[in-house]
């Protein structure tokens, strides 16, 4: 069934001319990813899971190596290993280990094991930087379809569980007393994170996935007055970062993935100036 | 515990690691009554509430709820991450969305009229407790469970809060189960008081409990009460006629004995 869907989407997406342009494809891919990283990034920030995202993303490199070793699709390998990593971290933290210790051990170990493992595969070895920093300009129409499906599923999952996720994030005791199951909502986020890592690996690479989660959501926090507004603004900041980053990359011939994150960081700084500017303008306009 | 109890616990024990925090607790809450659990710091009050809510696993015993029981829970405190933008109005719609009219009515009931636009992170301690109560009321609870709801409030604020609880009970008929470590205001507002110190030391109407030796052992007497509260050591003797000793010993590393029966230090 998945093959059928893939075929249909490939047929649809390959027809229009605009998809022929690699920059357009890359921009659409990044925009699709932002649809998931926007709302998910908000939860990563609210729940202080920034390094959790890092650990999951680092595990993806190990997933690449394992997928090649057993001859499976790379995205499946990264999905499975990222999921295993996220579940392990969540389980260890629930057992009372300090989170930063758990992540310090697992995150860096996963990266190191992954780098050692991929060294057995000359094809990956020669192209290591594209796994670490992404290769968004190499995105094909098939990849584009997968990114939109994966990101769309994550966005739909978060939208479906939105009220429960917010309540659980606010207080697990309150959620429990309202008849929700906090453990299930945590699992929703863990699964969403693993899917995003698998989808984003090709675009921004293992080292910068967490940046795509955190920076647009943090930029949105400057301006948002409610959780929904923050999620929507985070998607907007994500899309804008991808667009500006790719233009920067074209103009200055800089690596695309890092350029996107540079743009995101620039937007964060700009967004931080806005509340101060508004505060200056408002009293002035009242006087006038 | 009658068959009509909203919530009842039978012989529950809770362990954290190897330590038994609560031992052989049995209690019930009947429709419409206000029950206060009273005990010094570390006596397991919050633990008991969290067990009754089903948050903590029991190592022994069982908890029975009336079918379809709606509980409104007001936690001891709620820390709002500054990274989460959340207005009071939006907070009231978690997890079930409520209409603006119902939200406004709930805010008016707790004395927060027109404050729906405030950010949760900007609320004062008293406003936060009222906000938590408003949210709990919106689920039309048959039972309100409050964990030290007046923590961080000054004395007039505290008295006002307990008056509000009584109004709520009178208005909605909801039963109230609350926890406190302070006596006088709470005693006046309760139908029944349960004295807790790892086990149930004594229970009854405020008048009965305040004269029970177990209660005096925990809290001292008269003007000395507030001071004794903070001085209380876990080791105490039960020697009154209403001895509900649960059969576990009270040996603790440091050996402080209260000598009850001595004249009160007035």
Are B83 and A166 inside 8 Å of each other by CB?
A: no
Q: CA–CA separation, A276 vs B4, rounded Å?
A: 59
pLDDT of B89-102, one tens digit each? 999 999 999 999 99
Q: Which range among A10-24, A194-208, B73-87, B233-247 shows the weakest confidence by mean pLDDT? A: B233-247
Q: What pLDDT score does A19 carry?
A: 59
Residues from chain B contacting residue A221 (CB–CB below 8 Å) = 83, 85
Confidence of residue B260 (pLDDT cuts 50, 70, 90): very low
Q: Taking residues B18-23, what's their average pLDDT?
A: 86
Whether B39 shows a pLDDT value over 50: the answer reads yes
Q: Taking residues A209-233, what's their average pLDDT?
A: 95
Q: By the CB < 8 Å criterion, does A6 face chain B? A: no
CB interface of A with B, residues 163-202, below 8 Å: 163-164, 166-167, 169-178, 180
pLDDT of B116-149, one tens digit each? 999 999 998 889 999 999 999 999 999 999 998 8
Q: What pLDDT score does A100 carry?
A: 79
Residues 6+ apart with CB under 8 A from A71: none
pLDDT of A113-123, one tens digit each? 988 988 888 87
Q: CA–CA separation, B24 vs B42, rounded Å?
A: 17
pTM: 0.83
Whether B250 shows a pLDDT value over 60: the answer reads no
Q: CA–CA separation, B158 vs A153, rounded Å?
A: 48
Kindly report the average pLDDT of chain B as a whole number.
Answer: 80
**How distant is the Cα of B19 from the closest Cα of chain A, in angstroms?**
17
Are B95 and A163 inside 8 Å of each other by CB?
A: yes
Q: What is the DSSP letter of B17?
A: T
Q: CA–CA separation, B20 vs B12, rounded Å?
A: 11
Q: What pLDDT score does A167 carry?
A: 96
Q: CA–CA separation, B239 vs B216, rounded Å?
A: 11
Q: What pLDDT score does B182 carry?
A: 67
Position with higher pLDDT, A103 vs B233: A103
Q: What pLDDT score does B218 carry?
A: 75
Q: What pLDDT score does A242 carry?
A: 95
Are B71 and A177 inside 8 Å of each other by CB?
A: yes
Are B53 and A176 inside 8 Å of each other by CB?
A: yes
**How distant is the Cα of A182 from the closest Cα of chain B, in angstroms?**
10
Q: What pLDDT score does B84 carry?
A: 94
Q: Which of A209, A239, A236, A242 is nearest to A223 (CA)?
A: A236
Q: Which of B236, B251, B253 is nearest to B201 (CA)?
A: B236
Confidence of residue A193 (pLDDT cuts 50, 70, 90): very high
Q: Taking residues A57-80, what's their average pLDDT?
A: 88
Whether A60 shows a pLDDT value over 50: the answer reads yes
Q: By the CB < 8 Å criterion, does B95 face chain A? A: yes
Q: Which range among A127-131, A140-144, A265-269, B235-239 shows the weakest confidence by mean pLDDT? A: B235-239
Position with higher pLDDT, B213 vs B174: B174
**How distant is the Cα of A224 from the closest Cα of chain B, in angstroms?**
7
Q: Which of A116, A113, A118 is nearest to A69 (CA)?
A: A118
Q: Taking residues A68-76, what's their average pLDDT?
A: 87
Residue A202 has, within 13 A of its CA and on its CB side, a CA count of 23
Q: What pLDDT score does A12 carry?
A: 55
Q: What is the DSSP letter of B260?
A: B
B60-65 and B34-38 strand pairing: unpaired
Virtual torsion, Cα B181, B187, B188, B193, nearest 10 deg: 130
Confidence of residue A283 (pLDDT cuts 50, 70, 90): low
Confidence of residue B212 (pLDDT cuts 50, 70, 90): confident
Q: CA–CA separation, A267 vs A281, rounded Å?
A: 21
Instruction: Choose, out of A45, A164, A178, A215, the residue to mutate when testing the contact with B (most B CBs < 10 Å).
Output: A178
Instruction: Choose, out of A48, A49, A96, A170, the residue to mutate when testing the contact with B (most B CBs < 10 Å).
Output: A170
> For B196, phi and psi rounded to 5 degrees?
-120, 135
Whether A188 shows a pLDDT value over 70: the answer reads yes
């Amino acid at each position: 069934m998945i093959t059928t869907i893939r075929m249909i989407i490939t047929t649809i997406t390959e027809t229009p001319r605009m998809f022929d342009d690699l920059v357009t494809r890359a921009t659409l891919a990044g925009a699709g990813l932002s649809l998931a990283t926007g709302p998910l990034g908000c939860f990563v920030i609210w729940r202080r899971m920034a390094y959790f995202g890092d650990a999951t993303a680092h595990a993806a490199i190990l997933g690449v190596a394992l997928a090649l070793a057993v001859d499976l699709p790379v995205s499946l390998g990264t999905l499975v290993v990222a999921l295993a990593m996220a579940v392990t971290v969540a389980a260890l933290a629930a057992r009372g280990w300090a989170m930063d210790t758990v992540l310090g051990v697992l995150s860096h170990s996963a990266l190191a094991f992954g780098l050692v493992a991929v060294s057995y595969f000359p094809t990956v070895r020669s192209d290591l930087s594209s796994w670490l920093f992404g290769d968004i300009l190499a995105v094909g129409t098939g990849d584009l379809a997968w990114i939109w499906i994966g990101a769309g599923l994550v966005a739909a999952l978060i939208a479906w569980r939105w009220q429960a996720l917010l309540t659980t994030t606010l207080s697990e005791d309150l959620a429990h007393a309202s008849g929700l199951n906090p453990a299930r909502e945590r699992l929703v986020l863990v699964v969403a994170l693993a899917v995003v890592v698998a989808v984003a690996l090709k675009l921004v690479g293992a080292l910068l996935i967490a940046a795509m989660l955190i920076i647009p959501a943090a930029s949105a926090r400057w301006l948002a007055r409610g959780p929904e507004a923050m999620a929507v603004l985070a998607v907007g900041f994500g899309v804008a970062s991808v667009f500006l980053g790719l233009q920067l990359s074209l103009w200055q011939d800089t690596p695309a993935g890092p350029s996107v994150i540079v743009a995101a960081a620039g937007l964060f700084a700009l967004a931080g100036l806005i509340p101060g500017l508004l505060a200056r303008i408002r009293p002035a306009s009242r006087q006038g | 515990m009658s068959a009509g109890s909203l919530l009842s616990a039978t012989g529950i024990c809770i362990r954290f690691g190897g330590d038994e925090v609560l031992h052989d607790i049995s209690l019930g809450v009947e429709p419409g009554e206000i029950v206060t659990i009273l005990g010094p710091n570390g006596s397991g009050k919050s633990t008991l509430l969290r067990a009754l809510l089903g948050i903590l696993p029991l190592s022994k015993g069982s908890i029975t709820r009336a079918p379809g029981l709606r509980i409104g829970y007001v936690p001891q405190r709620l820390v709002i991450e500054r990274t989460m933008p959340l207005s009071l109005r939006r907070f009231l719609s978690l997890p079930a969305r409520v209409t603006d009219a119902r939200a406004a009515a709930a805010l008016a009931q707790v004395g927060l009229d027109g404050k729906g636009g405030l950010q949760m992170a900007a609320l004062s301690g008293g406003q936060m407790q009222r906000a938590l109560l408003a949210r709990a009321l919106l689920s039309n609870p048959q039972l309100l469970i409050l964990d030290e709801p007046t923590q961080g409030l000054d004395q007039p604020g505290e008295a006002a809060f307990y008056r509000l609880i009584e109004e709520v009970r009178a208005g909605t008929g909801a039963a109230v189960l609350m926890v406190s470590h302070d006596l006088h205001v709470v005693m006046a507002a309760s139908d029944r008081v349960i004295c807790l110190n790892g086990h149930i030391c004594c229970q009854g109407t405020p008048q009965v409990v305040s004269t029970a030796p177990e209660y005096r052992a925990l809290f001292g007497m008269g003007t000395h009460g507030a001071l004794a509260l903070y001085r209380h050591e876990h080791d105490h003797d039960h020697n009154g006629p209403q001895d509900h000793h649960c059969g576990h010993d009270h040996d603790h590393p440091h050996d402080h004995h209260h000598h009850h029966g001595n004249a009160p230090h007035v």
